[in-house]
Copies of this chain bind each other. A is one copy, B any other.
């Protein structure tokens, strides 16, 4: 059953959500289609469950890290730590990226995709808030969304490379974010 989620994660990351077929997931998991449907009522449910597990794991693993930070901590440090954790998380769970580049089609998993996204935005917002005590709420929200966007596009580049090149992209992503946020926090 974890077997099935693993297979689904693998197929989703390889082919994307839309192109992943229920039977291909079952095949990857080494079970019959019928078995898959004893655990999940439909294909969507697999993605949804996968999504919740990812969100849960994110909270478990990085719960404290994204909790309100002492505003005295240098921003550079906070950004670097957040990026490192985010990259690390995605390398261990490449399906996260697949689910975030969710399906073009609307539906329940689109909602799940949105939930994942919203979770991410909320965490970034809560991380930024101590640094931006005087910024209006809607501006904070925009800043958080922009940061998540940068995160995601940086992640794409990072995952597309290996070794030293990957490291270079990680540094670059940190730079982008730090330089974007530094003026806002008066750092």
A135 is an interface residue with CB less than 8 A from chain B: no
Measured between alpha carbons, how far is A168 from B140 in the docked complex, in Å?
A: 12
- Interface segment, one of A12-20, A39-47, A52-60, A69-77: A12-20
A98 is an interface residue with CB less than 8 A from chain B: yes
Measured between alpha carbons, how far is A157 from B142 in the docked complex, in Å?
A: 9
Main secondary structure on chain A at its contact with chain B?
Answer: helix
A119 is an interface residue with CB less than 8 A from chain B: no
Whether the Cβ atoms of A142 and B168 lie closer than 8 Å is: yes
A154 is an interface residue with CB less than 8 A from chain B: yes
Whether the Cβ atoms of B102 and A104 lie closer than 8 Å is: yes
- Interface segment, one of A24-32, A78-86, A126-134, A173-181: A173-181
A146 touches which of B15, B104, B173, B183 (Cβ 8 Å): B173
15 inter-chain pairs at a CB distance below 8 angstroms, sorted by A residue, are: A15-B106, A16-B18, A16-B103, A16-B104, A16-B105, A17-B104, A19-B104, A101-B101, A102-B104, A142-B168, A142-B172, A146-B154, A149-B150, A150-B150, A150-B153
Binding site for B on A (CB under 8 A): 15-19, 98, 101-106, 139, 142-143, 145-146, 149-150, 152-154, 156-157, 168-169, 172-173, 175-176, 179-180, 182-183
